[in-house]
């Protein structure tokens, strides 16, 4: 650690040292014969690392301390964090956890819904997303640039604005019901806590994140591979199932992870398009802010959410690492 | 794909379309066009209705600038609350860029050259901050600032800026790192063979080479902060630290007027301008390397 935080004032002195050392190092090393002082590159990484340690890792530690601490009900339900791990008590945490399975289990429906919503929304994202990415990568010719811009542009539009836009369209006397009239659904109250609305809202919000990695991987597949498949006697469908799809599998998995991670923590989609009948795990967290003892419950819920998303998160990190090593 | 072939093959197979190997991908095309309409039309409609003369955001009552400039209390320009939200939004974006981009650039250069175990740990932590769901980080920071750092970092602008920097730090790192990988160490080595000190080689050779990536990060981080809701909301104190995104959120749960559409359009214009400007400058800086430019922008 002290070498990382070595002060920059040393620079002058060690430059001299550097020259001397450079002459004495006969064999060129990994850095092409140039010798850098030990602290040189670490000092580049230090500021960002310290930042992440203080404002990314430390918060998680405090979350543990608060979740495994107690609540001072005499003081407006302020949390009493226990910072020393050997004092951690699991009483309040267990109380929160028990709301998922004990008695009326008021937290269970949102948890259950979250899984169902995330699963269905991801599936829809995958089907539509793959089709669109496939067309953009393979078939489109003259308009490819335009299609790409249109595929990327939702990323630059605020998520809230996009969901807000739908909120207006879905009102009872809104344009969607006007379009639905021929189907006999002209009076549907889409915003009154309908599962379909929230699921499609999630799809709408996150599908660009699914399309882009799949597009990138499909675009990289060499045409010769597909031609080889055809030459070996496969028809179009077989080539797709046995060449294209396997080659895009990593991108599909990456897309699924990128889409599910934020969905698990989403609460604003439901806040804008649904009611308490469609609330998700994220809503459980966000509604604690104003409640007595909310901070402690919020910390416990964040820990639980962290456990839920841990596996996809680590999977994604492993894959990026692998991709970086291959590159 | 000539018309002649198409005609003969469809004549040979009576079932027509599906038997024809040269058929146009109508279904794929249909799905794609449908998707693009579905994804962009609602936003276009929302923008149009910011110019509605009436109070409704779904039934058109004629064109007016009422919700932008005309209305003395409820127009974006004259509504004090909206003006402060706009100022807050841009302030946060500016401050975040100011810290996150230099910090991230340094981090990327260091991590690219230093291969020790601490470097791997730092890199892993950085990637973790990239994938962790925003609500987890936002709430964790809220709990940090209201407990351990209580009184030290007040909720509102200070907490929001610190939180946004934490959340955005990984973006410049990833973009600059990708650029560094394509450049390689050769130019710097050449400079040092010609007598430059390491720090001079970085300033005079490496920095100009990664300037496009830094620029892209600036655009990206700025646009992302303008659009951010979760972190900003988790760490805001009272009305004075609310941003445009929060205004949209609060208003949409009450009874929104086209003023909200105007606010949302304002955000849209800002991010599109910043991103388009960034992309243009980027291409200018990296002439002859268009592919890299687009992929850099695509990967996020």
Task: Answer whether B40 touches A (CB < 8 Å).
Answer: yes
Per the model's pLDDT, the better-predicted residue between B189 and B265 turns out to be B265
Superfamily of segment(s) B80-298: MetI-like (1.10.3720.10)
pLDDT at residue A129, as a whole number: 95
**Percentage above 70 pLDDT, chain A:** 88
Residues B185-190 have a mean pLDDT of 83
pLDDT value at B118 more than 50: yes
- Tell me the pLDDT tens digit for each residue of B120-139: 899 999 999 988 999 999 99
Mutate which: A52, A59, A257, vs B, most B CBs within 10 A = A59
Contact B230 A236 (CB under 8 A): no
Task: Answer whether B139 touches A (CB < 8 Å).
Answer: yes
Spell out the residues 6+ positions from residue B91 whose beta carbon is closer than 8 angstroms to its own: B157
Of A265, A313, A45, A55, the C-alpha closest to B166 is A55
CB B136 within 8 A of CB A56: no
What is the C-alpha to C-alpha distance for residues B193 and A297, in angstroms, rounded to an integer? 60
Task: Answer whether B86 touches A (CB < 8 Å).
Answer: no
Cα-trace Rg, chain A: 27
Task: Answer whether A9 touches B (CB < 8 Å).
Answer: no
CB A294 within 8 A of CB A279: no
The helix-helix angle for A249-265 and B134-146 (nearest 10°) equals 40
Lowest mean pLDDT across A18-27, A308-317, B24-33, B161-170: A18-27
Residues of chain A found within 8 Å of residue B250, distances taken between Cβ atoms: none
pLDDT at residue A257, as a whole number: 92
What is the C-alpha to C-alpha distance for residues A123 and A203, in angstroms, rounded to an integer? 9
Q: Please, where are the H alpha helices in A240-293?
A: 245-247, 249-265, 268-273, 281-286
Give every residue of chain A whose pLDDT is below 70, as ranges.
Answer: 1-35, 140, 327
Mutate which: B1, B22, B35, vs A, most A CBs within 10 A = B35
Task: Answer whether B119 touches A (CB < 8 Å).
Answer: yes
Task: Answer whether A205 touches B (CB < 8 Å).
Answer: no
Contact B46 A153 (CB under 8 A): no
> Does residue A70 sit in helix, strand or coil?
strand
Q: Please, where are the H alpha helices in A170-293?
A: 175-180, 195-220, 223-231, 236-239, 245-247, 249-265, 268-273, 281-286
Residues B41-56 have a mean pLDDT of 90
Contact B36 A150 (CB under 8 A): yes
Of A4, A66, A154, the CB nearest to B118: A4
pLDDT at residue A263, as a whole number: 94
**Percentage above 70 pLDDT, chain B:** 87
Q: Which two tokens stand for residue B134?
A: 């925003």
Interface size, chain A vs chain B, as Cβ–Cβ contacts under 8 Å: 272
What are the Cα distances from residue B168, in Å, to A316, B74, B243, B283? 18, 33, 17, 23
What is the C-alpha to C-alpha distance for residues B56 and B46, in angstroms, rounded to an integer? 11
ipTM of the complex: 0.84
Closest residue of chain A to B163, computed from CA coordinates: A55
Contact A320 B38 (CB under 8 A): no
What is the C-alpha to C-alpha distance for residues B299 and A212, in angstroms, rounded to an integer? 8
pLDDT at residue A113, as a whole number: 93
Architecture of the domain defined by A109-290: Orthogonal Bundle (1.10)
- The DSSP bridge partners found for residue A70 are A80
Which pTM was predicted? 0.85
User: Nearest CA of chain B to the CA of A223: how many Å?
Assistant: 16
- Tell me the pLDDT tens digit for each residue of B67-81: 888 888 888 888 888
What is the C-alpha to C-alpha distance for residues B239 and B256, in angstroms, rounded to an integer? 17
pLDDT at residue B164, as a whole number: 96
pLDDT bucket at B8, cuts 50 / 70 / 90: very low
pLDDT value at B105 more than 90: yes
pLDDT at residue A7, as a whole number: 38
User: Nearest CA of chain A to the CA of B216: how many Å?
Assistant: 14
Task: Give, as one character, the DSSP assignment of residue B52.
Answer: B
CB A127 within 8 A of CB A102: no
Contact A81 B252 (CB under 8 A): no
- The DSSP bridge partners found for residue A78 are A72
pLDDT at residue B40, as a whole number: 92
What are the Cα distances from residue B53, in Å, to A106, B57, B261, B299? 45, 10, 13, 41
What is the C-alpha to C-alpha distance for residues A270 and A4, in angstroms, rounded to an integer? 45
Contact A48 B173 (CB under 8 A): yes
Of A66, A208, A236, the CB nearest to B143: A66
What is the C-alpha to C-alpha distance for residues B294 and B290, in angstroms, rounded to an integer? 6
pLDDT bucket at B287, cuts 50 / 70 / 90: low
Q: Is A254 exposed, middle or buried (0-12, 13-18, 19+ CB in 10 A)?
A: buried
pLDDT at residue B19, as a whole number: 65
Domain ranges of chain A: 109-290
CB B140 within 8 A of CB A75: no
Average per-residue pLDDT for chain B: 84
CB B67 within 8 A of CB B76: yes
CB B213 within 8 A of CB B289: no
CB B188 within 8 A of CB B205: yes
Q: Which two tokens stand for residue A212?
A: 């882009």
- Tell me the pLDDT tens digit for each residue of B216-230: 899 999 999 999 999
- Tell me the pLDDT tens digit for each residue of A270-303: 999 988 899 999 999 998 888 877 888 999 999 9
Q: What's the N-to-C CA distance of chain A in angstroms?
A: 30
pLDDT at residue B106, as a whole number: 94
pLDDT at residue A281, as a whole number: 93
Q: Could you give the residue range(s) of every CATH 1.10.3720.10 domain in chain B?
A: 80-298
Task: Answer whether A8 touches B (CB < 8 Å).
Answer: no
Closest residue of chain B to A306, computed from CA coordinates: B136
Task: Answer whether B81 touches A (CB < 8 Å).
Answer: no
User: Nearest CA of chain B to the CA of A211: how many Å?
Assistant: 11
pLDDT at residue B88, as a whole number: 93
Task: Answer whether A178 touches B (CB < 8 Å).
Answer: no
Residues of chain B found within 8 Å of residue A154, distances taken between Cβ atoms: 39-40, 43
| Long-range contacts at B52-61 (CB < 8 A, ≥ 24 apart) | B52/B258, B52/B261, B54/B258, B55/B257, B55/B258, B56/B258, B57/A168, B57/B256, B57/B257, B57/B258, B57/B260, B57/B261, B58/A168, B58/A169, B58/A171, B58/A173, B58/A174, B58/A175, B59/A173
pLDDT bucket at B22, cuts 50 / 70 / 90: low
């Amino acid at each position: 650690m002290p070498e990382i935080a070595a002060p920059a004032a040393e620079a002058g002195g060690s430059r001299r040292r550097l020259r001397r050392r450079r002459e004495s190092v006969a064999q060129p090393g990994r850095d092409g014969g140039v010798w850098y002082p030990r602290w040189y590159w670490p000092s580049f990484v230090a500021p960002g690392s310290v930042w992440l340690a203080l404002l990314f890792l430390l918060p998680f530690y405090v979350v543990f301390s608060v979740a495994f601490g107690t609540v001072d009900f005499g003081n407006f339900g302020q949390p009493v964090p226990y910072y020393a791990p050997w004092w951690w008590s699991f009483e309040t945490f267990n109380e929160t956890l028990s709301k998922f399975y004990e008695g009326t289990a008021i937290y269970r429906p949102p948890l259950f819904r979250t899984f169902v919503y995330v699963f269905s929304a991801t599936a829809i994202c995958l089907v539509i997303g793959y089709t669109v990415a496939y067309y953009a990568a393979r078939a489109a010719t003259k308009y490819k640039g335009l299609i790409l811009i249109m595929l990327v542009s939702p990323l630059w539009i605020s998520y809230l604005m996009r969901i807000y836009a739908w909120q207006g369209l879905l009102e009872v006397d809104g344009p969607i019901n006007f379009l639905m009239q021929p189907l006999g659904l002209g009076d549907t109250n889409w915003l009154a806590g309908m599962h379909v609305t929230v699921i499609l809202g999630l799809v709408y919000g996150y599908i660009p994140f699914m399309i882009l990695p799949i597009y990138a991987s499909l675009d990289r597949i060499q045409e010769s591979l597909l031609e080889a498949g055809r030459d070996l006697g496969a028809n179009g469908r077989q080539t797709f199932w046995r060449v294209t799809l396997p080659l895009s599998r990593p991108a599909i998995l990456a897309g699924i992870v990128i889409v599910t991670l934020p969905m698990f923590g989403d609460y604003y989609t439901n806040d804008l398009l649904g009611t308490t009948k469609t609330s998700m795990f994220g809503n459980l967290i966000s509604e604690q802010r104003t409640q007595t003892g909310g901070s402690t419950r919020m910390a416990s819920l964040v820990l639980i959410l962290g456990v839920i998303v841990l596996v996809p998160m680590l999977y994604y990190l492993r894959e990026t690492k692998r991709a970086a090593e291959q590159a | 794909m000539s018309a002649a072939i198409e005609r003969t093959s469809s004549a040979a197979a009576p079932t027509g379309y599906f038997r024809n190997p040269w058929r146009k991908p109508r279904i794929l095309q249909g799905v794609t066009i449908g998707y693009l309409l579905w994804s962009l039309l609602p936003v276009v409609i929302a923008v149009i209705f910011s110019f509605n003369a009436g109070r409704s955001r779904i039934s058109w009552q004629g064109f007016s600038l009422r919700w932008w400039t005309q209305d003395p209390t409820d127009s974006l320009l004259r509504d004090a609350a909206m003006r402060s939200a706009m100022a807050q939004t841009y302030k946060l974006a500016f401050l975040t860029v100011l810290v996150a981009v230099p910090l991230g650039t340094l981090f990327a250069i260091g991590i690219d050259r230093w291969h020790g175990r601490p470097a791997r740990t730092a890199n892993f932590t950085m990637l973790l901050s990239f994938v962790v769901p925003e609500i987890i980080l936002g709430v964790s920071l809220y709990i940090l600032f209201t407990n351990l750092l209580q009184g030290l970092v007040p909720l509102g602008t200070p907490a929001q800026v610190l939180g946004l920097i934490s959340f955005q730090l990984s973006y410049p790192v990833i973009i600059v790192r990708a650029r560094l990988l394509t450049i390689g160490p050769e130019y710097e080595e050449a400079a040092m063979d010609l007598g430059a000190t390491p720090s001079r080689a970085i300033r005079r050779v490496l920095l100009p080479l990664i300037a496009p990536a830094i620029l892209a990060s600036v655009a990206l981080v700025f646009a992302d902060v303008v659009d951010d809701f979760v972190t900003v909301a988790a760490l805001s104190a009272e009305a004075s630290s609310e941003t445009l995104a929060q205004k949209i959120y609060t208003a949409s749960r009450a009874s929104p007027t086209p003023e909200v559409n105007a606010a949302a359009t304002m955000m849209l214009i800002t991010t599109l301008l910043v991103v388009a400007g960034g992309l243009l400058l980027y291409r200018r800086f990296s002439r002859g390397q268009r592919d890299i430019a687009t992929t850099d922008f695509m990967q996020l």
